[in-house]
A and B are shown apart, each in its own frame.
Chain A
Amino acid sequence: DSGVTQTPKHLITATGQRVTLRCSPRSGDLSVYWYQQSLDQGLQFLIQYYNGEERAKGNILERFSAQQFPDLHSELNLSSLELGDSALYFCASSGRGSSGNTIYFGEGSWLTVV
C-alpha cells in the first residue's frame, strides 16, 4: 500500500460527459501529480500541484483541469469526454525531506468512455 488513495477505481461514462477523479496523497506529501496511461501508450504526465498551487504542466488537454485543495487532496476533472480519453489515470505524490525524491503512485482510476 503506497498510501496514495484514488477514487473511483472504475468508471464507465458516455461521450460528451464530465467526470471527476479524486486523489488523497500520502500523509504529509505536498506534491500531487496526475498521469495518464492509455492501453498502448506509456505514462504521460498531465499536471503537478504543490501545496495548492500549479507547479508544472504536461500534455494536459484543455478539456481537462485539476486542482489541489487546502487539505491537499486533488481532483482531476475531465469534460466533453471522447472515446480516446479511455485510460488509466494515476495520481501520485511526493513529500519533503529525505523521502521527497521518490514519487509514490495510487492504484489508478480506470476510465472507460463508451
Chain B
Amino acid sequence: AQTVTQSQPEMSVQEAETVTLSCTYDTSESDYYLFWYKQPPSRQMILVIRQEAYKQQNATENRFSVNFQKAAKSFSLKISDSQLGDAAMYFCAYRSPNFGNEKLTFGTGTRLTIIP
C-alpha cells in the first residue's frame, strides 16, 4: 500500500515571502499521480497543483510550483509571494492509476500561517 508523509505539521511565512512544504511518499509503482490540495477554514478541498510521475518537468501553477524528485520519492510545494489567502491546511496526495486502487491517499497535512 502507498503511504504519504508530511513531516511539517505547521509552517509559517511572512506575507510576500516564499515557503516550501515537504512531502514524501512510498510506492512500488512506476506510474502514478501526485497532488497538493488546499483546505482553507471553509474546509473546502481545493486542488492546487498536480504532477504526473512520467513527466520530468516540474508542474507550475502561477505562484505555486513543485519540486518532484522521483528517485527520492519527494514532492514538495513551493509557494512564492505568499498572500493572506494562502493560509490553509495543505494536503499532499498520491493516486495510483491502477484499477481498483484509484483513490487518493493523503498525508496528514501542513497548516500554513501567513504573517502580515
Q: Chain A: residues with CB nearer than 8 A to chain B?
A: 2, 31, 33, 35, 37, 42-43, 45, 48, 55-56, 58, 88, 90, 92, 94, 101-105, 107-108
Contact = CB atoms under 8 A, between A and B. Distances in A.
Nearest to A58: B103
Interface stretch (B13-21, B62-70, B75-83, B105-113): B105-113
Contacts, number: 58
Interface of B: 33, 35, 37, 42-47, 50, 52, 91, 95, 97, 99-109
A80 B71 CA distance: 47
Given A102-B50, A105-B46, 9 more contacts: A31-B102, A43-B104, A45-B105, A48-B103, A55-B100, A92-B104, A103-B35, A105-B47, A107-B44
Contacts of A94: 102
B91 A101 contact: no
Nearest to A31: B102
Contacts of A42: 91, 106-109
Contacts of B95: 101, 103
Contacts of A55: 99-100, 102
Contact of B103 (A45, A102, A105): A45
Given A101-B97, A105-B44, A108-B44, A45 B33 contact: no
B8 to A, nearest CB: 14
Contacts of B37: 105
A58 B33 CA distance: 19
Given A42-B109, A58-B103, A105 B45 contact: yes
A101 B100 contact: no
A37 B35 CA distance: 18
A105 B42 CA distance: 13
Contacts of B45: 43, 90, 92, 105, 108
